[in-house]
């Protein structure tokens, strides 16, 4: 998997209160491409950060309805991945 494909699969890390609490247990949250599979996400994380992934859980987050004056619009859906690393592995990306 070339480097450009890795960052097409992994959009951005999700740095939230819940995400930082999960990072202490070896689980990390990422926003990923809507069509990415668990195997693609696992491969992208392993190649990008040189770690071993134990499990990947995914969830589709549905976009919210937004209003502006008299118009309504719907924000796009996106996919969230929870990546569990093998014991002893860490991502320094979240340790700042």
Nearest to 5, CA basis, from 35, 26, 25, 29: 35
Q: How many other CB atoms are there within 10 angstroms of residue 95's CB atom?
A: 8
Q: How many domains does the chain have?
A: 1
The CATH number of whichever domain residue 52 belongs to comes to: 3.30.70.330
Instruction: Write down the pLDDT at residue 7.
Output: 86
Quick check: is 37 in a domain? yes
68-88 pLDDT tens trace? 999 999 999 999 999 999 999
Quick check: is 52 in a domain? yes
The domain in which residue 17 lies consists of 3-87
Instruction: Write down the pLDDT at residue 5.
Output: 82
3-57 pLDDT tens trace? 668 889 999 999 999 998 999 999 999 999 999 999 999 999 999 999 999 999 9
How far, in Å, are 9, 30, 36, 57, 89 from residue 2 at the CA level?
11, 19, 15, 23, 23
- Three-class DSSP category at 40: helix
Confidence of residue 1 (pLDDT cuts 50, 70, 90): low
Quick check: is 60 in a domain? yes
How far is the C-alpha of 23 from the C-alpha of 4, rounded, in Å? Answer: 26
Quick check: is 33 in a domain? yes
∠7-92-48 over CA atoms, to 5°? 25
């Amino acid at each position: 998997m070339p480097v450009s494909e890795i960052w097409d699969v992994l959009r951005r890390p999700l740095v939230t209160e819940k995400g930082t609490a999960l990072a202490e247990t070896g689980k990390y949250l990422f926003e990923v491409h809507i069509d990415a599979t668990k195997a693609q996400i696992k491969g992208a994380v392993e190649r990008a950060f040189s770690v071993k992934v134990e499990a990947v859980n995914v969830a589709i987050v549905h976009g919210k309805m937004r209003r502006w004056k008299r118009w309504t619009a719907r924000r796009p859906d996106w996919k969230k991945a929870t990546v569990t690393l093998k014991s002893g592995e860490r991502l320094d990306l979240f340790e700042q």
